[in-house]
Amino acid sequence: MSQQSTSTAAPEDPSGFRPPTHREILTILGGLMIGMFLAALDQTIVATSIRTIGDDLHGLSLQAWVTTAYLLTATISTPLYGKLSDVYGRKPFYMLAISLFVVGSLLSGTADSMYQLAVYRGLQGLGAGGLMSLAITILGDLVAPRERARYQAYFLAVFGTSSVLGPVVGGFFAGADTILGIDGWRWVFLINVPIGIIGILVIWRVLHLPPLQRVEHRIDWQGAVALVVALVPLLVVAEQGRFWGWGSGKAASAYAIGAVGIVLFLLAELRAKADAILPLYLFRNRTFSVGAGANTVIGLGMFGGLATLPLYLQIVKGQSPTQAGLTLIPFTVGIMAGSIIAGQTTSRTGRYKMFPVAGTVLMVLGALTFSRVDAGTALPYIFGASVLFGLGLGFTMQPLVLAVQNAVAVRDMGVATSSSLFFRQMGGTLGTAIFLSVLFSTVGSNIAGAFAKAGKTPEFQAALQDPDVLRDPANAPVLDALKGAKLSLDDSAFINALDERLARPILDGFAQSVDLVMILTAIALVIGVVLAILLPELPLRNVSGIEGRMADDRARETAAAPAGVTAVGATTTLVAQESPHPGSADSEAPPRERG
């Protein structure tokens, strides 16, 4: 009956909006996925080539700031895009996001110093903050939650594909001296320009959304400034803390400024109320608050735990960045399989809670499986663990966003979606900082212990007495370390040239540190399992975000009109009654939670 009501109401709408067909949705989806692909690919393609970039620009020691600048602006801008698009519309801000990303990419490809590159990467990040969050939000505008689940699988396919293509493409560009007369590494950024322009043209041509009803709003500038004050020092210390020292004066200053910023942000949001960048009343919604915690833990486990896997493959298994990317293809297969299964099942049954629960359990099992790797672990074992972990992510990521979108009022869908991704990004930043700190703070003692254990074996003793081993300068780092010198892993390229018997303790010690990180990841993800179990399951709405917003607008107009029911008012009332916004402030009687 709701479909009949919606179709009856559509012609009465002054905007002439009608729900898009499946073919039109796929066309729009193509443009949205281009933007998502750019944002997701950029995170991995630059990581592979940053060493070559730093050497060419004579600033390898500054490479961390190039990454930090992008992370800062992308994280801070994500909730801003969500709120502003709720007020002023999605399409202009999505076009702005792609445009900023393209301009930042073009400038990054022309950088002559690492300082310039850091500034240009910051501009890129300003665009990247809106690419993923607005793509998911626009899909929510066009498609009802129950049908949305199967379309969101395409987004996860893009995410998984980029995680594999990034290292491969980055390694290719970084390894080429020149391409078309331009330094190879510059194409890491320049390749974004034609792809982004295509995305802009597609969205401009095919994305047609009805105008929002004009409502007086004020921009929460105080909240925006306070958010910057809160996040900049905390994100900087998360990236730089293991170099500065977590208890150093610089770190302590960052903690203090960040704490002041958080207090100011909370005060600003309380004052702004419904106009806030992150309205605090959303946290009264159990699905939103539990989802925020779950997304933070998922981000911590996903980005933090998996940040060590490429290091394991390259250092312990001796793979190149390109080979490491190819080795993780089963991880992508798991993500795609999980997302397709979750999307299709949710679309048919309307049930989604089982997937975050099963997904977090699979991620725990995947992390525990990875925690058993050592220097001699065979690739099929790694493939199996990758599929397990990827399947868990595929089950978890989009259903959590879907749950939040379905639970809040349609007017808040943009800020709710961007907030979910914001918390996931913050969890990833925190996890990366914590787990890489654990990795590099324990690897020295683990390697020392592995050398002490290896020193008692006949094979190692034979290597120390082998004249060829002693004469080979490639073995000098280990031989000097055995005499008391410090063994540095800042440049691990020397490991590949070592005698196999001398290299084995280093590989064993590094693998032990990776195992510890994966155990900690599993422990953190257990919290994710608990939060997934606590996640409420509400009936999925059968109308899209646009249709729901139009129904709200007409309901307000009808309520404000004089007594007497018009045909439009009657139709609107029927739509509003059949498609309430569960769990939101607009629902007089929210549906009973399931599960």
The C-alpha atoms of residue 137 and residue 135 are separated, in whole angstroms, by 5
How many residues belong to the chain?
595
pLDDT, tens digit, for every residue of 352-398?
999 999 999 999 999 999 999 998 899 999 999 999 999 999 899 88
Same domain flag for 427 and 309? yes
The gap from C-alpha 307 to its chain's centroid, in whole angstroms, comes to 13
Residue with tokens 């212990």: 449
Report the run of H or E that residue 31 belongs to, with start and end: helix 22-56
- The per-residue pLDDT for 582 is 41
pLDDT of 163-207, one tens digit each? Answer: 777 777 887 887 788 888 888 889 999 999 999 999 899 888 888
**In the chain, % of residues over pLDDT 90:** 26
Residue 120 scores a pLDDT above 90: yes
Q: What is the Cα–Cα distance from 406 to 593, expressed in whole angstroms?
A: 12
For residue 11, what pLDDT is reported? 42
Residues in CB range of 392: below 8 A, 6 or more apart? 334, 338, 358, 359, 360, 361, 362, 363, 364, 365, 366
Report the sign of the C-alpha dihedral through residues 331, 333, 334, 339, in that order. positive
Structural contact between residues 53 and 117, judged by C-beta atoms closer than 8 angstroms: yes
Q: Is there a domain that residue 284 lies in?
A: no
Radius of gyration of the chain (CA): 26
Q: What is the number of domains present in the chain?
A: 4
Same domain, 231 and 201: no
Domain housing 254: 221-276
Instruction: Taking the CA atoms of 352, 353, 359 and 365 in sequence, report the sign of the dihedral they define.
Output: negative
Q: Which residues of 479-512 are buried (b: 16+ CB within 10 A; e: fewer)?
A: bebeeeeebebeeeebbeebbebbbbbbbbbbbb
Q: Quick one: 95 and 44 in the same domain?
A: yes
Residue 293 domain flag: no
Longest dimension (CA), the chain: 102
Measured distance CA(521)–CA(309) in Å, rounded: 12
Are the CB atoms for 346 and 352 separated by under 8 Å?
Answer: yes
Least confident segment among 122-131, 140-149, 336-345, 450-459: 140-149
The domain spanning residue 189 has which CATH number? Answer: 1.20.1250.20
Give mean pLDDT, residues 35-56.
Answer: 78
| Residue at 359 is within a domain | yes
Weakest-pLDDT range from 101-110, 168-177, 556-565, 567-576: 567-576
Retrieve residue 361's tokens.
């359990």
Whether 236 and 384 map to the same domain: the answer is no
Distance between CA atoms of 366 and 388, rounded to whole angstroms?
5
Arithmetic mean of pLDDT, 548-563: 68
Clarify whether residues 532 and 559 are in a common domain: no
Contact (Cβ atoms closer than 8 angstroms) between residue 540 and residue 352: yes
For residue 183, the cross-strand partners are 178
In a domain, 291, yes or no: no
Residue 214 lies in a domain: no
